[in-house]
Structure 1
């Protein structure tokens, strides 16, 4: 089944006539095996973009096309000239390798082509004994809260509303059973020391939007999206951030320094990761998260919707209450 036929089947099963598959990926189905062939360029792009959101398409296609039993991923390895001619190429590629390794470990039905295994085996996160992550800053400046219609909020304004508006913050804590909430948890990864020359992945200043510790001592991560942001790539982001934090809990990655935020994270029992948005892509539903929750790593994924209670307040709901 070629990519066009696969798209028609996806549209039919999901009852979504307007959805598209990324033309920049070669995706086809051989009997019950989905094959995703990734050009080098896509291994170096932001995982939020459709052509680089490999994990997202794996989850969505398997959810909506039940005949898919197995997924094979293959890609064009990074040529040596890319390292010298493309800025940050090696960091993007290292992050891509980390993501592909994790998805093939998390789900037994996902495999990597043998020709790509050497790149995985020699990647920095496999060979380094001293991976470090930025420590959360102790400086927590209060952001200005702006009240407006839900559709008009930027992601930064939504973040401020959830963190610093007392009514919204209390509703948020109650819905997710949180005892603490905070924001901008850095996920820059380095080797041996925190410096530009020691970074392992791109996005040395990347951070998780909102995070907290719940009453059961689980570390909860929230990927926040505004109303207009409905990209499939959010699933890849969630998958990546959750595994970074799990590696911290498992001591495969160490915090660079100690401060008051470190110990609750290190003491967490497991990682939970939530998509927090007014809307999501039409292919993303509760069953997609149920599929993600079959991961061998025990990470829990879910979505919660941001909704207007009235002109002055926000509430949070799950799929069943949407």
Structure 2
């Protein structure tokens, strides 16, 4: 039996029992408490698997985040009371969707609200690594700066470089829109080409083959979902295909890159730099990445704005309320039954 949860229970007769695995924005928690019988995670600790199993037997609606793995065994073993999983975040790779469908559990997510925020951070990482901002900040803070000089702290220009975007969905296109303003040439890989009119808008060239895109790109940024097909999409072989001295930016999922292969390429100089917001073993970040002067490491903050997190919370409220009222939620991921 797992330890009791450090959580607040607010029972309101006749209302859906909702358990939230992490803290949400205060206004969202307040409104959720008004609408539903809510149990909140007051100390914001990440739930263990045992805790998730316990709460799934004690709620009508579970509100997990993308860091909560809800596997098939957990869904199959959940009590009959569980009817909905209203996930915070756009990704659904952490939820066993087939098992949810089999149990007739409705699954929803919060698509679209983090697009601009994640694209902004992607550009920030791109600019940061190209202009050596991590190293510059360090030498100023440590009192090592000796003043301006013609050859001091030389980085690289963005203008004229080729940006390879792997995954041209909402976020990939938002990155392309921003990148064009910085004078980057856009090439992209997607499951299928974008409409010709959209390609013209971005001045983008489609590559059906990832290998070909890598060979052409000075900077590669990843915006594809986590799946069996994309696990270690950039492996040792593909990283070797990249241009000597190229750059990787990843605000997608940590498992998209073979981390050992990337570190080896950074240490050999084949890769010049990397800007990373996600990692395969979060919250653990490999010390070699932290130590590398040309690697910027951020703590998974792609969606971390007040506006974005509030908008996601509003989507969760709307999804749960719609389901509770007997309607199909607007952000339904799979076919389920209320």
Task: Give the TM-score range, shorter chain.
Answer: under 0.3
Higher strand proportion (structure 1 or 2): 1
TM-score in terms of structure 2 length: 0.25
TM-score by length of 1: 0.26
Larger Rg: 2
